[in-house]
Amino acid sequence: MELIDTHTHIYLEHFDKDREQVLKNARSRHVKKLLMPNIDSHSIRPMMEVARLSEGYCLPMMGLHPTSVKPAFEAELEIIESWLEKESFVAIGESGIDLYWDRSFLKQQIISFRRHAELALEHDLPLVIHARNSLEEIFDVLDEFKGSKLRGVFHCFPGNVAQAEKAVSMGFVLGIGGVVTYKNSIMAEVVRQVDMKYLLLETDSPYLSPVPKRGKRNESAFLTYIAEKVGELKNLSPEEVAGITTQNARAMFRIE
């Protein structure tokens, strides 16, 4: 069995005391690659250091998280763009719109997200989207790119079946994480209804730990619990889920 964690913040300080052990745990649970989304200019150096030390096991993305979009976000975008010119990344992200805590920077978040979509096209990379309380706003921006070759992932997809079908129709796949294991999660029905070819697995560690680890720090080794739940919902073995989603991840991110 081979798994790929398509979304983990393994470079954050949550793992500073035991990162090597956490990586060993992931390897022991058949996780073959970890993909790391960036947050902002402050997270770039630690992320790139983890990428360097892991020798190709942890692969970086480059982007500006929507909750880091503030009045001076243009300067942050300039830093993001400068890194894209000098290093290799597997995706643009994570970017998007987050209206859960605060709507006051919606205009700036839309501008930032639109620029990330442009960067994804310019660099021929997938766009990793953070969409919290903002799916319709996200769709509105993506409509501007209709007919382009924009592709990517809705990280921790938060919508219903109809919204999932719309995301897929726009050339995107869905990141399925620990939320699918939660009781009464609408993600269960999304997973039941959406074809496996449109699903990827992710942890978003250290956040959103799956059952039976809910409430604890999440880590990539817990991806097996997500694979098991998806298998239960799709009437597939965890090995079959791993095989399909890993192939999907390799195709989307163009990795071995």
Of 85, 83, 92, nearest to 112 by C-alpha is 92
Give mean pLDDT, residues 242-248: 98
Summarize pLDDT for 136-145 with one digit per residue, the tens.
Answer: 999 999 999 9
Give mean pLDDT, residues 200-225: 98
Owning domain of residue 155:
3-253
Residue 101 has pLDDT above 90, yes or no: no
Residue 85 has pLDDT above 90, yes or no: yes
Summarize pLDDT for 153-189 with one digit per residue, the tens.
Answer: 999 999 999 999 999 999 999 999 999 999 999 999 9
Q: Find out whether 151 and 172 touch, Cβ atoms under 8 Å.
A: yes
Give mean pLDDT, residues 120-142: 98
Q: Find out whether 63 and 37 touch, Cβ atoms under 8 Å.
A: yes
Cα distances from 83 to residues 22, 79, 106, 152, 178, in angstroms, run: 27, 6, 25, 20, 31
Query: In the predicted model, what is the mean pLDDT of the chain?
Result: 97
Q: How many domains does the chain have?
A: 1
Q: Which two tokens stand for residue 41?
A: 């200019």
Q: Read off the CATH number of the domain in which 94 is found.
A: 3.20.20.140
Q: Find out whether 155 and 128 touch, Cβ atoms under 8 Å.
A: yes
Instruction: Give the whole-angstrom CA distance, residue 182 versus residue 232.
Output: 13
Residue 90 has pLDDT above 90, yes or no: yes
Residue 214 has pLDDT above 90, yes or no: yes
Q: Which two tokens stand for residue 47?
A: 């992320």
Confidence grade of residue 226 (pLDDT, cut at 50, 70, 90): very high
Give mean pLDDT, residues 108-131: 98
Cis omega (within 30 of 0) for bond into 66: no
pLDDT of residue 213: 97
Of 47, 36, 51, 44, nearest to 4 by C-alpha is 36
Instruction: Give the whole-angstrom CA distance, residue 138 versus residue 53.
Output: 35
Of 200, 141, 210, nearest to 4 by C-alpha is 200
Summarize pLDDT for 12-53 with one digit per residue, the tens.
Answer: 999 999 999 999 999 999 999 999 999 999 999 999 999 999
Rg (C-alpha) for the chain, rounded Å, is: 17
Confidence grade of residue 190 (pLDDT, cut at 50, 70, 90): very high
pLDDT of residue 248: 98
Q: Find out whether 98 and 122 touch, Cβ atoms under 8 Å.
A: no
Q: What are the residues whose beta carbons fall under 8 Å from the beta carbon of 16, sequence distance 6 or more? A: none
pLDDT of residue 154: 98
